[in-house]
Chains A and B, each alone.
Chain A
Amino acid sequence: MIVQELQKIQERCGWLPAEELRALSQRLTVPLHRLHEVASYYPLYRLKPPPRVDVKICRDMACHMAGAERVRAEVEMIASEYPAGSVAVDGVSCLGRCDKAVAAAVNDHHYVLSQTSESLRQLISKAYSKDPLPHAHWDMSPLGLTIDVYNGRSEYLAVKRWFEGMEANALLKELEVSGLRGMGGAGFPTFRKWMAVRGAPGQPKYVVCNADESEPGTFKDRELLRRAPWLVIEGMVLAALVVGAEKGWIYIRHEYPDGIDAVRAELKRAREAGIIGSNILGKGKTFELDIFISPGGYVQGEESALLEAMEDRRGEPRNKPPFPVFQGLYGKPTVINNVETLSWVPGIVLHGGSWYRDMGVKGATGMRLVSISGDVAKPGVYEAPLGQTLRELIELAGGMAGGRPFKAVALSGPSGGFYPAQVPVSELPPKFVQTKMPVGATQFDMLDLALDFNTCGEMGAMLGAACIVYNDTRDMVNQALNAVSFYRNESCGKCVPCRVGGQKMVEMTTELVEGRSPPGRLELMRDLGETMGLTSICGLGQVASNPVTSVLKLFPEEVEAYRKGQKP
């Protein structure tokens, strides 16, 4: 209740005044510190009255590449034309609009700036005179991708198929055959997760969809939610039927208002069609499904942090084990799947596991959605078969922008670190060199990398949904500082290695960028990175140093130049 009640107060007052919190504390009989813990944790909540115009400009990865800092400086100039304090300009973590960088929000309305601040001038003026702000127009056309087996229509044939006599085990078998894995980044086999929850003791069980897509460079779920919401809803209904859950939530980041609207409308339609509710298709099964709007923060995408938010606490990741499949929401067995993972399920139910499996190429299985941004000609969401090489993927996105040479890639947003066009054999795992490279090769051409979970795993790389491409003009130390700052900004602050380590990593990278890195510092950065990776509670802390350690390892010349104070 706390999260929603705070959202209500904020909608009514524009912020969270202390007297409102005191009244809420009385009403919910919850101590004040509990309310403040939650209210001060999430970026959505304001503990001070908002400025008349509140401009937030994305500062991460693709937006950073597109000149977010310059845009911000320009907007600050515009703000200075207004009375002091009336127009506030600040940075914000990735808004999930990396394909149209630079992204910005004015009074919580989201816009893309196409790399200039001019469009903002008008919006600020409108907001200042309290005129209604225009809504950004988003493409609502059918996705036209394989994943949308209904091609833009809301049909729910897979649920109907289930009630025509599909057994849970049969569905699980199809999932196993398909080889479908978690598309949120971790790649955990979906059938194993569902089986674990189905077999776990304890009632009730829950199904939660993780639509809190917040990793810089990732925006594929945004498209699915907005343009094919029936898929994720049907996937959740099927998951609920398989594991025996009667309640589910779609946890959506609040920065996707278009997605929230689309899902809300589709939920209404599904309820009317008897796909969700107390008597699904008249067969006596129950599955209630609601939206849970995230009060914000990248780390909420970590599944246990997401559950903490749903349980009205600070969204800090839990210590694991126990895993959510056994003790998830309210300590009960819980399926938590990414939007895309769930969206593939209707197709697999309708066309069989082999349908999905056989979409893979070069020995890999399956298909996935990739968000491509950075220095490619056509940034956007693409459907790519697993096993496809990086070269093919970049070609899919129109090739390198302006035909410039490819310099580096981040395969999983900031979390997997940066890889150069040519990776020296010395920096690759021996097994990968033996099996994937010709004898005698000294370098591995990144563009030849087959993008599938196994190959990337063998290489020691992470395969996420965000592919950010860098051309030869990019300064990788600078990119590393930008990416590591993101993790520092988004750390929940719970455990020491991430909270303090993240800050120190930013400080030490800043030293490097400013050419004042003392001797021994790089070694310490590596040690710190290793410690953060080994000891942090959650995935965020464990990968937070990757942008820096990968650059230290794979871009030694650039690092050396900075260390000597000779900025490349």
Chain B
Amino acid sequence: MSERLKVNVCGVEFKNPVIPASGTYGYGREYESLYPLSRLGGISVKGTTLHPRQGNDGPRVAETPAGMLNSVGLQNGGAKKFLEYELPNLLTKDTRIIANIAGSTVEECAELAAMIDESAVDMVELNISCPNVNHGGAAFGTDCAVAGQVTRAVKDALKHKPLMVKLSPNVTSITDIAKSVEASGADAVSLINTLLGMRIDIKTRRPILKKNVGGLSGPAVFPVAVRMVWQTANAVKIPVVGMGGIATWEDAVEMMMAGASAIQIGAAIFADPYAPVKIVDGLEKYCEENGIANISEIVGSVQPW
């Protein structure tokens, strides 16, 4: 792989800008029989909480036009399992590791951040946007003051790692939230998490999801994500990592032109497990064909009317 795709996000260098998004790629184990994980710029691993979580009852998934709803509810083995079992394996994969963390209180987020700070992860992504949990999650990410508060607490707990805050699109003004977390010490923001949605089985008159509502992802949300990334990139000085419905290298280019310094791939992986590496190859070819020395040249290069 050439230097063309190297990107830098708040001091962390990625060999390419393509990162499977948290919650869609586990800890990489399920995909490495298809291709080496070193092909990826990085991996944002499954959201980790201080203690193990079982998540929500099923069904947790519903198909939608060009996408899907999920209501997993942060099922994970907890911080100890992540640090002792998953991370040592991930560190051998020659790719950047982003620890995605979530908590139900500000104190819990800070405690978890302090634990992760001592590990060898490259970056911490604070999830203040999960729509599927009753405490914390989106409740943190939909209020400017609270979003700032939890960002500050986590930033203070992190002595060694840069902090990226993952934002919710389920807000009136995502730029206000982004500015608030920037002012509270965030080194980068990532967006968008899923959009809150609902499907109903018309035969049973029951919601398909046991939790009634869930997060919408997939190509259906892509234009919303591009718009929010563009607005946010214009509102803050810290880097923006863009995600939401990216399925092809063309989508990745579009998202970077909107202002994303790197991109995350989520639901597209379910349709095509090779999607992340196909996007890497597509970006490489795109740079070659267009005489682009480094992909970062296109970041924010959209010329609005």
A-B complex is real: no
Residues of A within 8 A of B (CB): none
